[in-house]
Amino acid sequence: MSTLVTMPKNGSDVSKRNNLTSLPSFSSWFDNFFENSLGTEFLSNFNTGITLPAVNIKETNEDYVLELAIPGMKKSDFSIDVDNKTLSIASEVKHENEQKEENYTRREFGYSSFKRTFTLPDSVESDKVKATYKDGILMVTLPKREEAKQKPPKRIQIS
């Protein structure tokens, strides 16, 4: 946040400290509030749902493997689709909890969701995509077409 009052350095005249011209205007203070990190941190706290999960992508000779760390979910919470050359991984979870007592009712609810999409290379066999979810890790395996797999080196004999 910007400095609200300029302070005199050692040995400066103390009477200059009370000069109101050193105070910023309300409008500049208000603008600075939203330009600095305090404003953006404040606004970002409104979204308490799942952020986009990080993805590790590995390539082997046989396939591509996507690993997403998404703990605390169930297999049924995920939706994985392949449409043309696009892989979509999405999740939407709603939580509701209601507690009724003699003098009050307490109701809490939450909602979290995310969607990640990936453009698949031509080398992926899209009909054979598989997914597993274990210990908070969603693993999507994208097998390569036979012609895209690397062949072992071949030694050529000289005749």
Q: Tokens 């979204």: give the residue.
A: 47
List the strands of the sheet with 63-69, edge to edge: 55-59, 63-69, 137-143, 130-134
pLDDT digits (tens, 9 = 90+) for 32-80: 544 544 444 444 334 445 578 889 999 998 999 999 998 888 899 999 9
Determine which of 27-31, 57-61, 153-157 has the lowest per-residue pLDDT on average.
27-31
Beta strands in the chain, from DSSP E residues, in sequence order: 55-59, 63-69, 78-83, 86-100, 105-119, 130-134, 137-143
Stretch among 31-35, 92-96, 114-118, 122-126 having the lowest mean pLDDT: 31-35
Q: How far apart are CA 6 and CA 9, in angstroms?
A: 9
The three-state secondary structure class of 21 is helix
Cα–Cα distance for residue pair 86/93, rounded to 1 Å: 23
| Nearest residue to 136 (alpha-carbon basis) of 80, 54, 59 | 54
Collapsing DSSP to helix, strand or coil, 51 comes out as coil
Which tops the pLDDT comparison, 30 or 112?
A: 112
Taking only the tens place, the pLDDT of each residue in 143-153 is 998 887 777 88
* pLDDT tier at 106, thresholds 50, 70, 90: confident
Please name each of the domains of the chain with its CATH number.
Answer: 1-46 (no CATH), 55-148 (2.60.40.790)
